[in-house]
Amino acid sequence: MQERSSVAELANLLRRELNRYSPGEKLPSSRALVERFRVSPVTVSRALAALAAEGLVVTRPGAGAFRADRPRPRNRPGDTSWQEVALSAEPPGEAVPRSVDASGVLTTLAAPPPGVIELNGGYLHPTLQPERAMAAALARAGRRPGAWGRPPTDGLPELRAWFAREIGGPEGAVAASDVLITAGGQSALTTALHALAGPGAPVLVESPSYPGMLAAARACGLRPVPVPADTDGVRTDLLAQAFRASGARVFVCQPLFQNPTGAVLSAERRAEVLRVAREAGAFVVEDDFARRLVHEDAPPLPPTLAADDPDGVVVHICSLTKITSASLRVGALAARGTALERLRAIQVVDSFFVPRPLQEAALELVGAPAWPRHLRTVATELRARRETLLTALRRELPAAAEVGHVPYGGYHLWLRLPDGTDEWGLAAAALRAGVAVAPGRPYFSAEPPAPHLRVGFASASGPAELEAGARRLRTAFPDLADG
Residue extent(s) of CATH 3.40.640.10 domains in the chain: 131-366
383 vs 317: CA distance, rounded Å: 25
Mean pLDDT of the chain: 88
CATH class of the domain comprising 3-67: mainly alpha
In 3D space, the residue among 217, 224, 287, 215 whose CA is nearest the CA of residue 257 turns out to be 287
* Position with higher pLDDT, 173 vs 291: 291
pTM of the model: 0.81
Domain 131-366 has CATH 3.40.50.2300: no
Residue extent(s) of CATH 3.90.1150.10 domains in the chain: 103-128+372-481
User: What pLDDT does residue 82 have?
Assistant: 60
What Å distances lie between residue 157 and 11, 199, 330, 344, 465, CA to CA?
Answer: 44, 33, 14, 15, 42
Interval 17-30 mean pLDDT? 88
In 3D space, the residue among 317, 226, 306, 305 whose CA is nearest the CA of residue 269 turns out to be 305
Q: What is the CATH number of domain 103-128+372-481?
A: 3.90.1150.10
What Å distances lie between residue 165 and 132, 134, 169, 310, CA to CA?
Answer: 25, 22, 5, 15
344 vs 160: CA distance, rounded Å: 14
pLDDT tens per residue, range 315-352: 999 999 999 999 999 999 999 988 899 999 999 888 88
pLDDT tens per residue, range 6-23: 788 888 889 888 888 888
Residue extent(s) of CATH 1.10.10.10 domains in the chain: 3-67
